[in-house]
Copies of this chain bind each other. A is one copy, B any other.
Amino acid sequence: MTQSRAVAAQDGDGLAVGELIGLNPEIARSAIGALDSGRTDEAAELIAALHYAEVADLLEQLNPDHRAAAVDILAPAFPPEILPELDEAVLEDVAERLGDRRLAGAIAGLESDDALLLIAALDETQQRQVMQAIPAALRAALEQGLAYPEDSAGRLMQRDLVAVPTFWTVGETIDYLREADDLPNDFYDIFVVDPGHRPVGTVALSHVLRTRRPVPMRDLSRREVATVPVGMDQEEVAYAFAQKNLVSAPVVDDGGRLIGVITVDDVVDVIHEEAEEDLMRLGGVTGTDIYEAAIDTGKARFSWLFVNLLTAILASIVIGFFEATIERIVILAVLMPIAASMGGNAGTQSLTVAVRAIAMRDLTSANAWRVLSKEGLVGLLNGVLFALIVGLVAWVWSGEVSIGLVMAAAMAVTMAIAGIAGTAIPFCLSRTAIDPAVASGVLLTTITDAIAFLAFLGLAAWWLL
């Protein structure tokens, strides 16, 4: 956990009261201007007045040259709290510019969970070199942390925590807290542990403060201790925190022994990450790549576009079956994209709701049939409405009532199937190892396009020729 502290406040001696705001674009522009024209002192002054999170935002917005200059300004006393706030691509850039020695120093200045995240984000070569420059005790702890799987509770947890035996009183606990010098900077709960160091209760600090000295800690313990196994996926951890309104939770090893603590502010970052992941995957991208070079971004997006090309070709093959029909009734070619577009969008609506509901555990095997039949019904309801509207449009446009009827029928069929497919596809994928957010969209549009063209052109060929 990183303590909230301003870079600027380090030198001050009064209490600064300020409103919560992000990086001011005006200040960003001034800083960029100063860096651009080499006015280093002015840039240094502007940067020194910023909160560390704002410095991180600024570093992200700078181009590589300006960023290097800004890092050089900060380097003599680089505030380590900046590093965990940086996007991965920018972090690599800053880390390289800082150099291994300074980077190792910054990492040593962070809390153990932030230090671990940072080391894990470095590329292998730099990771090895920086590790060499880190004091042996911290290095050993970091190596132990790196042994836990990526995105697991073990990576997220803070190893420093406060644990007391069951028989201690409030007074003994307070005396211990006042004297011990290896405690974390900030903590919210004290864990009560049995002789095997297994957690048997948690006590909120506010309860300790409000209770007289002779009361045993055990009496203050919350009845339920929700423990996190060290290998639990961070997404599960975030879900549990949000669902149960937790502020911190003890992490236990396979033997049930207390080895760390996860606090809610670490989970906030995970929630941001996970929500972003779903959003990005649905949009066919792999991450917020605005800081990456164009060539890397292009490469990352190519594969998804290639899969999309294959599905587009499939749709064209379906159209190809009806070349003769289109040749005789060319208005079909003009109208057919409407059916495909409406089917695709109706399906995407169902899909978006389903992907989010699966992530939030709102769509499970217990209610899948009910949701599926509802989505089919919604698709059919709107399908019938749009069949009337689009049928009318097609009739007026083509001047032929029969083309209007074909369009209406195709629209109703496509939209009902789109509603069902939009729910069924992500749900079935969620039962497999495939992420529904990644693959659902491509599968869905393949199906809706094929159905739309097949229904519209097929009915036309059968009825009109």
Contacts and interface: CB of A to CB of B under 8 A. Distances in A.
Interface in A1-50: 1-6, 9, 12, 14-23, 25, 28-29, 32
Given A9-B223, A17-B199, A25-B365, 9 more contacts: A19-B227, A174-B209, A188-B188, A188-B205, A279-B279, A283-B348, A284-B348, A284-B349, A298-B378
Nearest to A249: B20
A210 B183 contact: yes
Contacts of A14: 223
A152 interface: no
Contact of A312 (B6, B188, B341, B397): B341
Interface string A228-246: 1100100011011111111
Given A5-B223, A226-B4, A366-B61, A20 B352 contact: no
Nearest to A180: B210
Contact of A284 (B204, B256, B264, B345): B345
A342 B222 contact: no
A239 to B, nearest CB: 6
Contact of A353 (B225, B278, B280, B327): B280
Contact of A338 (B302, B313, B397): B313
A316 interface: yes
Nearest to A87: B362
A86 B173 CA distance: 38
Contacts of A459: none
13 contacts: A1-B245, A15-B223, A19-B226, A32-B366, A61-B362, A178-B212, A205-B206, A242-B272, A279-B355, A284-B349, A291-B362, A301-B378, A305-B342
B320 A224 contact: no
Given A226-B4, A239-B22, A290-B357, A305 B382 contact: yes
A150 interface: no
Interface stretch (A94-102, A137-145, A328-336): A328-336
Contacts of A211: 178
A249 B356 CA distance: 30
B23 A361 contact: yes
Given A61-B367, A178-B211, A333-B319, A378 B282 contact: no
A199 B272 CA distance: 30
Contacts of A177: 206, 209-210
Closest 5 CB pairs of A and B: A283-B352, A275-B275, A333-B333, A20-B240, A9-B223
Interface in A285-332: 285, 288-291, 294-295, 297-298, 301-302, 304-306, 308-309, 311-313, 315-316, 319-320, 323, 326-327, 330-331
A117 interface: no
How many copies of this chain? Answer: 2
A276 B356 contact: yes
Nearest to A190: B209
B378 A294 contact: yes
A63 interface: yes
Judged by DSSP, the binding face of A is: helix
A20 B285 contact: no
B199 A205 contact: no
Contacts of A23: 361, 364
A247 interface: yes
B283 A236 contact: no
A221 B4 CA distance: 12
A165 to B, nearest CB: 14
A384 to B, nearest CB: 10
A346 interface: yes
Nearest to A56: B243
B28 A309 contact: no
Contacts of A206: 177, 183-188, 205
A29 B340 CA distance: 38
Contacts of A374: 290, 294, 297
A360 interface: yes
A399 to B, nearest CB: 13
Nearest to A199: B17
Contacts of A284: 345, 348-349, 352
A445 B338 CA distance: 12
A413 to B, nearest CB: 16
A456 to B, nearest CB: 12
